[in-house]
Structure 1
Amino acid sequence: MAGCRIDHLVITAPSLGIGAAFIKEALGVDPQAGGSHPSMGTHNLLLSLGDALYLEVISIDPSLPAPDRPRWFGMDNLSDSSLPALSTWVARTADIRSAAGRSSESLGSVTPMQRGDLNWLITIPPDGLVPLDGVAPALIEWPSGVHPAARLADRGLRLVEFEIFHPDPKRVQRLLSSIDAQGIASVAASSDGTSSLSATISTPEGLRYLSSGKIIVHRQT
């Protein structure tokens, strides 16, 4: 069985400029240029979180035509007034079709994707929304020996903790177990009946916290 690991975290924003400013305020560093996803009508910025792990800031690319399908990560629901937020996460696997087939939740169709000279496979639900009330991952499979994090500068950021909150934590645990992703996230019942994600990131300026609740909390080191 091919296990899954966290590949990257996804911050959605109404524009890359707004997303970049959010990351600068939240983490104290500027993300690097990424590129465009022509088949999704989006573009991104990237920031290393260590070996084979990174943060993606993604927004709709106004220079590209709208795709003939819903955009990924629920991005068609963004408006100019939307706030940047930790909207989803992506789990890396060496066998995406096997992992998707085992998944206790429908994670979408395995879809070829491209950005510049990078090519990969990723699961995308037909409605473009994030499954399991917004906390399930997309699955991704990179070609052997290829990963975009290898191209990113190390700014001293590291993912310390990743947390998933859901009204039915056992359902989330079943999903993680079914794709062999145990131990990569802390799962807990939400206190208010909603679903959310949070990430604690170590930076040169101390620990910082990102949330799908659009809140930035500066923690003491």
Structure 2
Amino acid sequence: MPACQLDHITITTPALPEANSWVRRVLGVGAAPGGKHPAMGTENMLLRLGDATFLEIIAVDPYAPAPARPRWFALDTIGVESLASLATWVARTSDIAAAAAAAEPIAAPGAITPMARGERNWLITIPDDGSLPLGGVAPALIEWEPGPHPAAGMPDHGLSLVKLELCHPDARRVQALLDAIGMQGPVSAVRISERMQPFLRAHIGTPAGVRILG
């Protein structure tokens, strides 16, 4: 069985500054510039949530050419008037092929795709249409190149990811997915009404107490 751990949570937004203002209001500290993803035409900001966990804010890079394929994290569906949203999360593994195969029958994670930002390289699963599996409740799978985790080089503001709740009408399916990929760490499936859309709720420890993003 593969083994996965919570790597990072992802906020999507039409513009990085507005989303970062929201993060600052909730957590008391904002994210720092990350970099650009030439293959996707996107850019991000990053905030450490632990030794090997972080928060990512990601948006379309307005100065980059559009990629030849749909952008990841459903960014092509976000309008200029859209609000920032805790849209999905990413699970880390040392064997992305095994984890993707285990997830496939429950919630297909997408093709394993090489990706780069600056000097850092990794493999990540991306659906061909750029969508978010299970409405964002199913994670993208990531396998980093060998070396220190990206969070290790980020400023430490005393934040930690206490718990991530995956809220979905079919919580059994979500739990089956977590079991299939060998998910370890503070991630739980929460059942919500059939009338509700899936969403995430992140409980983040700060020096002023636990705050909730979602």
Report the TM-score when normalising by structure 1.
Answer: 0.92
| Structure 2 match to 1:215 | none
Offset of residue 182 of structure 1: 5.1
| Structure 2 match to 1:19 | 19
| Structure 2 match to 1:219 | none
Offset of residue 194 of structure 1: 2.4
Query: Using the alignment, how far apart are the partners of 2:184 and 2:208 within structure 1?
Result: 30
Moved more, 179-188 or 130-139: 179-188
CA contact (8 A) 2:6 2:185 kept: no
The aligned runs of 1:1-221 (5 Å cut-off) are 1-103=1-103, 104-181=106-183, 184-191=186-193, 192-211=195-214
Query: Using the alignment, how far apart are the partners of 1:15 and 1:60 within structure 2?
Result: 8
Partner amino acid, structure 1, of 2:75: M
Query: Using the alignment, how far apart are the partners of 2:170 and 2:196 within structure 1?
Result: 9
Structure 1 unaligned blocks of 5 or more? 212-221
Higher RCO by CA contacts (8 Å cutoff, separation 6 or greater): 2
Report the TM-score when normalising by structure 2.
Answer: 0.95
Number of equivalent positions: 211
Give the share of equivalent positions with the same residue, in percent: 52
Structure 2 unaligned blocks of 5 or more? none
Query: Using the alignment, how far apart are the partners of 1:193 and 1:31 within structure 2?
Result: 30
Larger strand proportion of the pair: 2
CA contact (8 A) 2:204 2:210 kept: yes
Offset of residue 17 of structure 1: 1.2
RMSD, matched Cα: 1.2
Moved over 6 A (4+): none
Query: Using the alignment, how far apart are the partners of 1:18 and 1:117 within structure 2?
Result: 27
